[in-house]
Chain A
Amino acid sequence: QVHLQESGPGLVTPSETLSLTCSVSGGSISSYFWSWIRQPPGKGPEWIGYVYYSGSTKYNPSLKSRVRMSLDTSKNQFSLELTSVTAADTAVYYCARSLPNTRLRFDSWGQGTLVTVSS
């Protein structure tokens, strides 16, 4: 069974770049869509975007100007960069997997990592 694990700094300074990595074990990163989803405290989730195993990406229009995603098939990892962060970016960040042709149905999730934006 596939296992996803997020890693990265838990505290980011305002105006800096948030960087997270998701490590995938128990399965290959190939042939899937890999998404980042965040959930501010006490609120609903927000889809940030996905990176396909081919390297193609699609981002939420509301975040598109600040988001970059990539993947490293040799390490079975994919990454998120969110630039110019503010307190509004404070959230639990999840990585998640979707099968092709499922319209981004998230069938496996990481445990999540809390990122706080504060000076």
Chain B
Amino acid sequence: QSALTQPASVSGSPGQSITISCTGTSSDVDAYDYVSWYQQHPGKAPKLMIYDVSNRPSGVSNRFSGSKSGNTASLTISGLQADDEADYYCSSYTSSSRVFGGGTKLTVL
């Protein structure tokens, strides 16, 4: 059982927007503004897409955005593209360690 809760799957058509939620507790998501989001294509290592709730690393498209309210963080992908189809994981800092979500499979229809 993962520490953070994500929906198992979401889907959307090209050009649409989707949002993936990540629910934690008062000890992780709610306590710190250190939520990250990772994208993972099959057989590949995770790639950092969002850090510190809403910041994008250099090179990541501005179609990816993050937010947080209380113990729930969210990743929004706008203008869906075929290459966005992947697994997405949230992660939160907590007490000198990191916890991850169970992952959400994004299908681009």
**Per-residue CB proximity of A77-119 to B under 8 Å, as 1/0?**
0000000000000000010000000111111011110000000
Q: How far is the CA of A4 from the CA of B44 in the complex (A)?
A: 13
Size range of the interface on A? 10 to 19
Q: How far is the CA of A110 from the CA of B46 in the complex (A)?
A: 9
Residues of A within 8 A of B6 (CB): 44
Residue B51 interfacial (CB < 8 Å): yes
Instruction: Establish whether residues A103 and B45, one from each chain, have CB atoms under 8 Å apart when the complex forms.
Output: no
Residue B98 interfacial (CB < 8 Å): yes
Given contacts A43-B2, A102-B51, A105-B51, whether A58 and B45 have CB atoms under 8 Å apart is no
Report whether over half of chain A's contact residues are helix, strand or loop; otherwise say mixed: loop
Residues of A within 8 A of B89 (CB): 44-45
Q: Which residues of B contact A (CB under 8 A)?
A: 2, 6, 32, 34, 36, 38, 44-48, 51-52, 57, 89, 91, 93, 96-103
Q: Which residues of A contact B (CB under 8 A)?
A: 43-47, 58, 60-61, 94, 102-107, 109-112
